Amino acid sequence: MADLENKYPENVPGQFYVDDQCIDCDLCRETAPANFTRSDDGGYSYVYKQPGTPEEEAQCKEAMEGCPVEAIGDNGS
């Protein structure tokens, strides 16, 4: 389970975030490309845009549920 205390600083403020468990598998970037991107320097994903539509929110939730290491969190904001 993702830990808010360990989220990457690049995550924009809001409901979803990625923490330091990320293994850079690309699943979230493929599932919700409008919201997740990659840190080329760090080799991990982070949330660069919080969902702005119900469709984007559903894609972020799908990415969170599919994350193999549970690195995506939903703080309920």
Task: Give the CATH number, domain containing residue 60.
Answer: 3.30.70.20
User: CA 71, CA 36: separation in Å to the nearest integer?
Assistant: 12
d(CA 13, CA 50): 8
Task: State the pLDDT at residue 65.
Answer: 98
Structural domains of the chain, count: 1
User: How far apart (Å, rounded) are the C-alpha atoms in residues 10 and 66?
Assistant: 21
d(CA 57, CA 38): 19
**Residue range of the domain that includes 20:** 4-74
Q: Tell whether pTM > 0.85.
A: yes
Rounded average pLDDT over 28-53: 97
Confidence class for position 77, pLDDT limits 50, 70, 90: low
Work out the number of other CB atoms within 10 angstroms of the CB of residue 69: 12
pLDDT confidence band for 76 (50 / 70 / 90): confident
